[in-house]
């Protein structure tokens, strides 16, 4: 099972205070630091120039996987960790970061499984470069993203800056648990990150 509140790398509260957009992630996610890394997947030039109006996100649709899920709003817990979605069949948007469609790296996390079987992000490892991801906001706008890359990272070496760093245009990261399941701790040992950028209209 992808644990609800444990297992991901952490950042200190001082990082949260400095940028007001840092978070720890417990379970299917990771942490946020507002620093751009040069090795992050590059934004397409067309996407870098466009910043669409964006209300709070309401739904995530991944046509190639048959995924359509309402989005929970994820905040921080008292220990500074990012709360995982309550419902394994729903993904959640990290409200401390940009809204999907606005400039920056919007983050959506979801469980890979639960005690009862596969969860909402069970198949995101099948995504390929060029696959579409759509975020529908509460105003009904559809923000279309194109997959650029995907990576697996051990939770003890999660690339926080690469995932949460500033980007020139609107980008999206999907995060879930991956790798081997440690029965001793009850957590997966890695995170899968899907990188996407705003698609050309």
User: Is the pLDDT confidence value at 65 over 80?
Assistant: yes
Beta strand residue intervals within the chain, DSSP E: 24-25, 57-62, 67-74, 81-82, 91-94, 104-109, 113-114, 117-118, 132-137, 142-154, 170-182, 187-198
**What does residue 44 show for φ and ψ, rounded to 5 degrees?**
-60, 140
Q: Is residue 45 part of a domain?
A: no
Q: Is residue 4 part of a domain?
A: no
Q: Is residue 105 part of a domain?
A: yes
What pTM value is reported for the model? Answer: 0.78
Task: Tell me the residue range of the domain where 93 lies.
Answer: 13-40+51-198
Number of folded domains that form the chain? 1
Q: Is residue 147 part of a domain?
A: yes
CATH at 61:
2.40.260.10
Q: What is the pLDDT of residues 3-32, one digit of tens each?
A: 333 333 333 333 332 232 333 344 544 333
Q: Is residue 6 part of a domain?
A: no
**What does residue 49 show for φ and ψ, rounded to 5 degrees?**
-90, -15
Q: Is residue 59 part of a domain?
A: yes
Point out the least confidently predicted range of 14-18, 42-46, 105-109: 14-18
Give the CB-side neighbour count of residue 113, counting CA atoms within 13 A. 11
The first and second tokens of residue 158, run together, are 């999660």
Q: Is residue 3 part of a domain?
A: no
85 alpha carbon, distance to own chain's centre:
12
Q: Is residue 7 part of a domain?
A: no
């Amino acid at each position: 099972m992808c644990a609800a509140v444990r297992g991901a790398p952490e950042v200190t509260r001082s990082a949260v205070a400095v940028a007001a957009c840092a978070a720890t992630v417990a379970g299917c996610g990771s942490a946020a630091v507002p620093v751009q890394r040069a090795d992050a997947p590059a934004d397409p030039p067309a996407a870098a120039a466009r910043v669409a109006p964006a209300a709070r996100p309401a739904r995530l649709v991944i046509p190639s996987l048959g995924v359509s899920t309402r989005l929970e709003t994820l905040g921080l817990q008292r220990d500074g960790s990012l709360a995982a979605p309550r419902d394994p069949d729903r993904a959640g948007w990290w409200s401390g970061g940009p809204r999907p469609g606005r400039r920056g790296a919007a983050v959506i996390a979801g469980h890979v499984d639960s005690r009862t079987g596969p969860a909402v992000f069970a198949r995101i490892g099948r995504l390929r470069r060029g696959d579409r991801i759509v975020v529908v906001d509460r105003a009904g706008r559809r923000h279309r993203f194109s997959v650029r890359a995907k990576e697996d990272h051990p939770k003890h070496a999660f690339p926080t800056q690469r995932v949460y760093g500033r980007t020139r245009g609107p980008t999206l990261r999907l995060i879930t648990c991956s790798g081997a399941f440690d029965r001793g701790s009850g957590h997966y040992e890695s995170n899968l990150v899907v990188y996407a950028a705003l698609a050309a209209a």
